[in-house]
Amino acid sequence: MTKRETDAPDGPAGGSAGPSTPTRAFGWTLHGDGRRIGEGEVVAPGERLTWPRTVGIGMQHVIAMFGATLLVPTITGFPVTTTLLFSGIGTALFLLITRGRIPSYLGSSFAFIAPLTASQSSGPAAQLGGVAAAGLLLLVVGIAVKLAGSRVIDAVMPPVVTGAVVALIGLNLAPTAVDSFESQPLIAGVTLLAILLVTVLGPGLLGRLGILVGVVVGWVFAAVIGGLAEERVTALREAAWFGVPELRGPTFEWSVIALTLPVVIVLIAENVGHVKAVSAMTGRSLDDVAGDALVADGLATTLAGFGGGSGTTTYAENIGVMAATRVYSTAAYWVAAATAVVLAFSPKFGALVFTVPNGVIGGATLVLYGLIGVLGVRIWMDAEVDFTDPVNLTVVAAALVAGIGDLTLTIGSVELGGIAWGSVGILVAYPVMRSLARFRKP
């Protein structure tokens, strides 16, 4: 998802019968007898069930985040185990910084796929510089929100702007998805069909794992018909079961940084949306920790950029697990974070992920990239953005075409693509055009 729909799904909104959520990362209170959840109750972030049950729910969170978190490095060529390592570390940091009040898993953000794909010619070090820069900017935004209050986000980035940026990031990727699909159309078609069937027909949690199931089905089909790259299969056989994740540092190139920074808008929308979703489902106001959530994700993304992993964001997939289980305990997320870190030390696991062929990626990204674009539309719909207003209509139209058409212009030695021009354009043009519209005669 993208990542990324963060509105609360259907689920209980009532609070737990237990005590209020403590403002600390550890020290959970046992919910009732630790075995059952009463009718209309939820297990609050500061509570937990018995440890065997908590570990089991934590494993479900690992399954929920797995497909999306690993798909990003698979598509972008980043080390899978390194990304997984910083995903686990980032989740732990998030739980600590938010003082255990917001249950969340920080997985790989789909929003980084576009700039990382577009900047591959600059090399991995420059790409990591872009990730680190985005993380630092998000960190600064988080601090500003803590000081000024969460309403500042709505003032700077109203829904018409946020929706446009999210939409153009997803739709800018469409040619990449199509190219991968066309490289192995049969494998891609089987993968796409599996994703659609599981998403539409799969019950409960299975339906939320459509991407992961589709990728597995596509991989098995490719293996049966000889669609796996032989050199990758050989690398899988030769990979060690245990090893240290590959770490590398960033370099900073302005062209790559400019291409990556618009992703911050998506990360802000996802983090704030996650906070609001958890607040709605647990019946507790969490607006006062929205800034902490942004700071935590900013720090996690910065660390990933300086260590070799992809940027992170709060995961809507795991909201689905919470809604299905009615368990919002942060103890389960500590289990998920620890599991991710342990798996990161298996090169065999990373090599297995890299055997996923282009056709499978094409089938999956055809859905994923479209979901990112549609999420932007959903932001407009939820906010009831008025597109009969000429300012909204014309500014969004120009930004979308710049992004979808990948408008690329060079200023001096810096080359900027469609995502950068579309995002910066609407961020600057919207407030300017809105101010000028006040002088329009009736």
Q: Specify whether 306 is located in the same domain as 184.
A: yes
Same domain, 152 and 138: yes
pLDDT at 369: 75
Give residue 123's pLDDT band: very low, low, confident or very high (50, 70, 90): confident
Last residue of a domain, one of 360, 385, 410: 385
What pLDDT does residue 89 have?
A: 94
Same domain, 315 and 409: no
What mean pLDDT do residues 98-117 have? Answer: 84
Query: Is 61 part of any domain?
Result: yes
- Residues whose CB is less than 8 angstroms from the CB of residue 330 and which lie 6 or more positions away in sequence, other chains included: 25, 28, 45, 46, 95, 100, 102, 103
Does residue 8 lie in a domain region? no
Res. 323: pLDDT tops 70: no
Examine the domain organization and report whether 138 and 179 are in the same domain: yes
Q: Which of 347, 367, 385 is the last residue of a domain?
A: 385
Question: In terms of pLDDT, which residue wins out, 201 or 67?
Answer: 201
Same domain, 367 and 404: no
> Is 24 within a domain?
no
Q: What is the pLDDT of residue 140?
A: 93
Domain-located, residue 244: yes
Higher pLDDT, 250 or 411: 250
pLDDT band at 361 (very low <50, low <70, confident <90, very high): confident
Domain of 378 in residue numbering reads as: 45-385
d(Cα 231, Cα 120) in Å, to the nearest integer? 22
Residues 333 and 104 sit within 8 Å (Cβ to Cβ): yes
Model confidence at 442, in pLDDT bands (50, 70, 90)? Answer: low
**Is 187 among the domain residues?**
yes
Say how far apart CA 5 and CA 168 lie, in whole Å: 16
Tell whether 129 and 116 lie within a shared domain: yes
pLDDT at residue 91 in the model = 93
Q: What's the pTM?
A: 0.66
pLDDT at 346: 81
CB 293 within 8 A of CB 95: no
The DSSP 8-state label assigned to residue 414 in this structure reads E
Per the model's pLDDT, the better-predicted residue between 214 and 139 turns out to be 139
* Domain assignment present for 295: yes
Confidence band, pLDDT 50/70/90 cuts, at residue 289? confident
Which residue would you say has higher pLDDT here, 181 or 215?
A: 181
* Tally of structural domains, the chain: 2
| pLDDT tens digits, one per residue of 125-159 | 999 999 999 999 999 999 988 888 767 766 777 88
State whether 379 and 395 are in the same domain: no
Q: Around 156, how many Cα atoms within 13 Å sit in the side-chain half-sphere?
A: 13
Both 392 and 381 in one domain: the answer is no
Q: Are residues 367 and 412 in the same domain?
A: no
User: Is residue 92 scored above 90 in pLDDT?
Assistant: yes
Which of 363, 385, 407 terminates a domain? The answer is 385
- Report if residue 33 sits inside a domain: no
β-pair partners for 364: none
Q: In the structure, what pLDDT confidence band is assigned to residue 94 with cuts at 50, 70 and 90?
A: very high
Tell whether 216 and 146 lie within a shared domain. Answer: yes
Amino acid making up residue 339: T
User: Domain check: are 311 and 426 in the same one?
Assistant: no
Same domain, 223 and 355: yes
Q: Assess if residue 19 is contained within a domain.
A: no
pLDDT > 70? residue 191: yes
